């Protein structure tokens, strides 16, 4: 079936689920000591973010930040700092997003693609602005112009809430024809929520993804080569 719009999850769907854990988090953790110890050499943006922690001792501040990461604490100040450091990594080409080739091809050949991720819209744009070139690993490509819109939990709501998908349908002007919108994700709970909102759904099966019980209940995609 040809769908009028595609809404794509990121981790486990268009790029490996391990990307955040194995690339972004270690990059951030490795940069924190230098950023904190050299705070006097940092720009005003970084200084302002670090000051929000209200911890003057540098070693204590480093340990506090790394503790938030290791305990997966959703701290808003931490998120700001991560966003800034990751942006620096992308812009310096130290970080490139390993988007699957079949996902790149799908986005390039479909003219109405949207992204919906629990990561912030800013983080989503950084990722698609620095996609690893599958033909030359030393280069990255900017795919932002191929994405029609970005949604996150702040703009649209939780991904396991059907109302979030209704909100997206309204935003993309597809509220009257939800069956023509395909949502792709590796998370069955998200797919169930989207299905309740009337969207067509597809389960992404990728290496490293969690095994899904009752997998036969879903339309499964091991790759997107034939999907329009």
Binding residues for substrate, by number, are 117-118, 159
Annotated binding site: 9, 11, 117-118, 159, 186
Distance CA 128, CA 189 (A): 25
For the record, the structure tokens of 32 come out as 């924190």
Residue linked to tokens 């990728």:
206
Integer CA distances (angstroms), 53 to 46, 56, 64, in order? 12, 9, 9
Neighbours of 101 (CB within 10 A): 14
* CA pair distance 212, 34, nearest whole angstrom: 41
Q: CA 107: distance to chain centroid? A: 15
DSSP character for 20? I
CB atoms near residue 62 (< 10 Å)? 17
State the binding site for Mg(2+).
9, 11, 186
Write the burial class of residue 16 (CB in 10 Å: 0-12 exposed, 13-18 middle, 19+ buried). buried
**How many residues does the structure list for the chain?**
228
Closest CA to 5 of 145, 139, 175: 175
Q: Helix or strand or coil: residue 196?
A: helix
């Amino acid at each position: 079936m040809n769908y009028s719009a595609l809404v794509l999850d990121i981790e486990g769907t268009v790029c490996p689920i391990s990307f955040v854990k194995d690339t972004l988090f270690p990059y951030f953790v490795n940069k924190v000591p230098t950023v904190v110890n050299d705070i006097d050499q940092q720009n005003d943006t970084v200084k302002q973010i670090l000051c929000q922690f209200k911890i003057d001792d540098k070693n204590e501040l480093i340990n506090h930040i790394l503790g938030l990461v290791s305990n997966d604490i959703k701290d808003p100040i931490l998120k700001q700092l991560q966003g800034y450091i990751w942006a620096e990594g992308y812009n310096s080409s130290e970080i490139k997003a390993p988007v699957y080739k079949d996902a790149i091809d799908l986005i390039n050949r479909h003219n109405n693609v949207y992204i919906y991720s629990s990561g912030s819209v800013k983080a989503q744009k950084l990722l698609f602005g620095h996609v690893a070139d599958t033909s030359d690993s030393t280069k990255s490509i900017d795919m932002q112009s191929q994405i029609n819109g970005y949604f996150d939990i702040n703009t649209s709501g939780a991904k396991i809430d059907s109302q979030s998908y209704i909100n997206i349908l309204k935003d993309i002007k597809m509220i009257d024809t939800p069956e023509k919108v395909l949502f792709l994700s590796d998370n069955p709970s998200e797919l169930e929520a989207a299905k309740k909102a009337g969207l067509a759904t597809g389960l992404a099966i990728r290496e490293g993804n969690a095994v899904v019980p009752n997998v036969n209940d879903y339309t499964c995609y091991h790759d997107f080569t034939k999907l329009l």
